[in-house]
Structure 1
Amino acid sequence: MNKKNLIKELVGELSANNLAIFAGAGLSVPAGFMDWKSLLQGLAEEINLNIDKEENDLVSLVQYYVNSKNGNRSKINDLILNEFSQKATLTENHKILARLPIDTFWTTNYDPMIETALEDAGKIVDVKHCVEQLPVSIYKRDVVVYKMHGDASLPKQTILIKDDYEKFHLTRNDFFNALRGDLLTKRFLFLGFSFSDPNIDYILCRIRASYSENQKEHFCILRKVQKTDKEEEHEFEYRVRKQEFFILDLKRVGINTLLIDEYSEITEILKDVEQAQKRKTIFISGAAEDYSPYSQQEVEQFVSSLSQEILKLKYRIVTGFGLGIGSSVISGAIKYLTERGLKIDEDYLILRPFPQDKEGRELWSAWRENMISYAGISIFLFGNKLEDKKTVLSNGMQEEFDISEKNGNILIPVASTGYMAKQLWEEGLNKECNKNINAEMQELSKENLSLDLIKSNILSILNKVK
């Protein structure tokens, strides 16, 4: 599997609301938490074992430690509580995953990073880290986070030693049932797992138990084995072969693997996925007190028709109630949806009316940021308003353009409609236009272009960038 194919698959599953995340320890380490090897090194030394020799079976190592203490795991509980309850810095990966339209997360991690990122993204999170929480749902939840090995706040209940895994089917079997259901209905992206992860074997054996035939394909991102400074060539080649066999074994249980050179590539992939997902939503910015050289009726019909064609291309629309434009966007969208018996909801149309009172006006900038954050393409039409009985350029459209540019959106200022849209094009965008859509953008910069030609060129651009 290559990056391009993985991104395409992930975006497709996001659009179908069918993507789930399974996060391992590797997702949390960059946030400031210790990896398992570092965390358990002191315990290994206490019982005179070499952590480097035992790193492929850390579960057994911890069990040996507990055995040496006559079954007392209080020190391990303290390690978990102190390490995974601490405040850490959210990584970019956490933030991107939280922004994406994903409603199911599974993790073997004890830390609160996933749920914290989701809450920061404004989502209502239903966290389940013990069996008693499984049948209870938070009202109007946006996302469920299953912490199948427990939570740092209750270290005595966490799954870590061999005893815990052996009793899992008795104490926490409902988690496996829930996981099996999600594996049957969703496609998972596994992030943060490695050879040294103490949980990977246990997760894979449960996946094998769930899938004997008709396996659903899932995805995993792994880093290629890296040659160390003191490592002999034959030792490195051995580890490369071992990884190849490991990837084949993942394939056997329905997991396709993408190998990367550096962990930073995961962030790049997630950013590309987010951008591609956002490009399925189009922000329409427009304001018009003066419709010249067209009539108001012609423009309203044009905007309504354009909105219908955009929805026909399977895009989603986000808009405010821009003067003279927003209402036509809404009427066109509603016409399209009602004629086809489709629900009028945010799967097709996101509306953000601007409050007109003094307090509301002070929030307009934040409102624009929120509105444009959904989109990856921005279209700008006209851009004028009446001020002191004079028609002036719309400073609101300028702000929306700046936000869109900062967010990396594809920018389509329709200069033919004049006013602020024309100024945005002339202020340098015409020199930086994407070559793939340059012909259409040049056409859209012509004066007195018919509204039909404006629409056809916009739709041509949208077909190309889709």
Structure 2
Amino acid sequence: MVTKANLIKNLVKELQAENLAIFAGAGLSKPAGFVDWKNLLREVAEELELDIDKESDLVTLAQYHVNSKRNNRAKINQVIIDEFSKDIGITENHRILARLPISTYWTTNYDNLIEKALNQIRKIVDVKHEPVQLLTSLRKRDAVLYKMHGDYLHPTKAIIIKDDYEKYLLNNGEFYTALRGDLLTKKFLFLGFSFADPNIDYILGKIRASYSEHHQTHYCILKRVQRFENEELADFEYRERKQKYFIDDLQRVGVDTLLVKEYSEITEILTAVEKEFKRKTIFISGAAYDFSPFSKEEVEKFIFELSKEIIKLDFRIITGFGLGIGSSVIAGAIEELLLSGKRITEDELILRPFPQTTSGEKNLAELWSAYRKDMISFAGISLFLFGNKIDGATGEIVDSNGMIEEFEISKANNCILLPVGATGSMAKKLAERVVKEELQPTISLESVTNEIADLGVLKKNILSILKSLK
């Protein structure tokens, strides 16, 4: 078994390597309001005068119903459409998974929650629910979703009865090949999956037999066996013992398990993974018309060198083109990327110039707010520098209201807040607020808040804090 801390650490590592894949079972969709497989077939079981709660082989149960209707599966097809065509909202787990840089999803579910979650954040998802679709790819796709048991909109092709499973290799063998390849090259996290599915058991067994000890190690999260009310202790211990043997067998085929007391812990784990992964990305908020007590040249050099060192520490930078600051941030980051032989991509540097005009339905202020939310959604750390501008009406130097908004968005997103008070203006006020309200109790801002005459020392202190966060 794997510990929660190690699972989070390993998942973040695989995300950074762009090597994590998700396999979703019915348990991922059930909290949204969809039925699990047992409840999907409850009405079918009643027609057979069988008790669904006493049945464990649901594939055979579905086959019994088709047999009783002289090989007519119309009833089962209708049940699939009725249950999964409901307009049900996505869960927080779906939202987190969609936000993470995951490009490969597999599922045995018929519902559309995964693609809905990806579409909501404007990711392009290429859905494959039958083998012929494997021959083509959607251009500029962000993710591919393999629905290896079909889609509720095409119930006649859904894999659900024994006949479907027995003919799966013949009719859907291309899915076997694709999944086998992904299981060999990627790290999978199985969520809401019971491993009772014959197809997955078959593929994992084949990989284990072919590659012995050299296969990938995958992960799954399962709910720990709980004692039922009024259950005999011996019966509970029996189920507990059986679960242990089941987990040992999963490890045999390369799947390490984390047991949780409640499925709500999955959301906590995914939230922690997202937070740790985002720590690699620093949002730099800054604007300066007045650079005092420093000169403009000194500040530009300071920002340039700070940006270079941040990239050197293997952080990713996201920034707008803030007045007096943005250009130096970009120049420093690009120089370091070029010197280190890296490509200038969004894996290293995300640039978001603010729109300056609009003729659409939203005014400029609304556009800028939406733009800021999108930028900061990538970040786990927000760094605030200076924060002043000239008032167009009065000609006076005033604090940057845009920095206040970026601070509030960062706070709402649970970013680590690092206002560099030593640079003055709005950054100084934000630093005082962080200390007063204890918004960042685990990080001392003293080294970057007190007045510092030497920008070289300030740069060193900022980098020291960032290193500690790594």
What TM-score do the two structures reach when normalised by structure 2? 0.96
Distance 1:282 1:52, change over 3 A: same
Listed one character per residue, the Cα deviations across residues 403-461 of structure 1 (whole Å, up to 9, x for unaligned) are 101110000100000000001112243551645431xx112111134211111111111
3-state SS of the aligned residue for 2:70? coil
Q: Supply the distance in 1 between the matched residues of 2:133 and 2:431 (Cα, whole angstroms).
A: 55
Matched with 1:96 is 96
For the 8 Å contact 1:437–1:464, the answer to whether it is kept is no
Paired residues for 1:150-299 under 5 Å? 150-194=150-194, 199=197, 201-212=198-209, 213=212, 214-299=214-299
Listed one character per residue, the Cα deviations across residues 102-149 of structure 1 (whole Å, up to 9, x for unaligned) are 000000000111111110111001000001100110111110000000
Partner letter of residue 208 of structure 1?
Answer: G
Could you tell me which of 425, 429, 454 is aligned with 1:423? 429
For the 8 Å contact 1:33–1:84, the answer to whether it is kept is yes
Matched with 1:368 is 372
Deviation of residue 396 (structure 1)? 0.5
Q: Supply the distance in 2 between the matched residues of 1:449 and 1:258 (Cα, whole angstroms).
A: 51
- The alignment yields a C-alpha RMSD, in angstroms, of 1.3
Could you tell me which of 360, 381, 405 is aligned with 1:377? 381
Gaps of 5+ in 2: none
Q: Supply the distance in 1 between the matched residues of 2:407 and 2:107 (Cα, whole angstroms).
A: 39
Matched with 1:446 is 450
3-state SS of the aligned residue for 2:374? helix
Matched with 2:469 is 465
1:389 paired with 2:369, answer no
Q: Supply the distance in 1 between the matched residues of 2:268 and 2:340 (Cα, whole angstroms).
A: 38
For the 8 Å contact 1:11–1:273, the answer to whether it is kept is yes
Partner letter of residue 408 of structure 1?
Answer: N
For the 8 Å contact 2:421–2:449, the answer to whether it is kept is yes
Q: Supply the distance in 1 between the matched residues of 2:89 and 2:411 (Cα, whole angstroms).
A: 27
Q: Supply the distance in 1 between the matched residues of 2:396 and 2:129 (Cα, whole angstroms).
A: 62
Listed one character per residue, the Cα deviations across residues 228-273 of structure 1 (whole Å, up to 9, x for unaligned) are 1132111111100010000001000000000000010000000111
Q: Supply the distance in 1 between the matched residues of 2:408 and 2:4 (Cα, whole angstroms).
A: 30
3-state SS of the aligned residue for 1:437? coil
3-state SS of the aligned residue for 2:355? coil
Matched with 1:28 is 29
For the 8 Å contact 1:58–1:198, the answer to whether it is kept is no
Distance 1:428 1:142, change over 3 A: closer
For the 8 Å contact 1:293–1:448, the answer to whether it is kept is no
Q: Supply the distance in 1 between the matched residues of 2:311 and 2:9 (Cα, whole angstroms).
A: 21
Matched with 1:437 is 443
Q: Supply the distance in 2 between the matched residues of 1:172 and 1:443 (Cα, whole angstroms).
A: 62
Matched with 1:45 is 46
Deviation of residue 341 (structure 1)? 2.0
Q: Supply the distance in 1 between the matched residues of 2:404 and 2:441 (Cα, whole angstroms).
A: 24
Q: Supply the distance in 2 between the matched residues of 1:129 and 1:431 (Cα, whole angstroms).
A: 51
Q: Supply the distance in 1 between the matched residues of 2:267 and 2:17 (Cα, whole angstroms).
A: 22
Distance 1:169 1:133, change over 3 A: same
For the 8 Å contact 2:434–2:440, the answer to whether it is kept is no
What TM-score do the two structures reach when normalised by structure 1? 0.97
Matched with 2:62 is 62
Q: Supply the distance in 1 between the matched residues of 2:168 and 2:131 (Cα, whole angstroms).
A: 11
Listed one character per residue, the Cα deviations across residues 290-310 of structure 1 (whole Å, up to 9, x for unaligned) are 111111111111111111111
3-state SS of the aligned residue for 2:75? helix
Distance 1:245 1:449, change over 3 A: farther
Distance 1:435 1:423, change over 3 A: closer
Q: Supply the distance in 2 between the matched residues of 1:431 and 1:453 (Cα, whole angstroms).
A: 27
Gaps of 5+ in 1: none
Distance 1:256 1:449, change over 3 A: farther
Q: Supply the distance in 1 between the matched residues of 2:179 and 2:217 (Cα, whole angstroms).
A: 15
1:145 paired with 2:150, answer no
Listed one character per residue, the Cα deviations across residues 25-77 of structure 1 (whole Å, up to 9, x for unaligned) are 001111111122222122112212221221x2111111111112221111000
Q: Supply the distance in 2 between the matched residues of 1:168 and 1:303 (Cα, whole angstroms).
A: 59
Listed one character per residue, the Cα deviations across residues 163-188 of structure 1 (whole Å, up to 9, x for unaligned) are 10000010000000000111111000
For the 8 Å contact 1:307–1:329, the answer to whether it is kept is yes
Could you tell me which of 420, 435, 438 is aligned with 1:414? 420
Deviation of residue 282 (structure 1)? 0.1
Matched with 1:72 is 72
Matched with 1:132 is 132
For the 8 Å contact 1:57–1:198, the answer to whether it is kept is no
Matched with 1:405 is 411
Partner letter of residue 29 of structure 2?
Answer: S
Identity %: 59
Q: After alignment, is 317-326 or 453-462 more displaced?
A: 453-462
Partner letter of residue 398 of structure 2?
Answer: V
The count of corresponding residues between Structure 1 and Structure 2 is: 460
Q: Supply the distance in 1 between the matched residues of 2:438 and 2:156 (Cα, whole angstroms).
A: 59
Q: Supply the distance in 2 between the matched residues of 1:74 and 1:361 (Cα, whole angstroms).
A: 54
Q: Supply the distance in 2 between the matched residues of 1:375 and 1:341 (Cα, whole angstroms).
A: 24
For the 8 Å contact 2:109–2:149, the answer to whether it is kept is yes
Q: Supply the distance in 2 between the matched residues of 1:433 and 1:99 (Cα, whole angstroms).
A: 25
For the 8 Å contact 1:354–1:364, the answer to whether it is kept is yes
Deviation of residue 198 (structure 1)? 5.3
Partner letter of residue 221 of structure 2?
Answer: I
Q: Supply the distance in 2 between the matched residues of 1:101 and 1:281 (Cα, whole angstroms).
A: 13
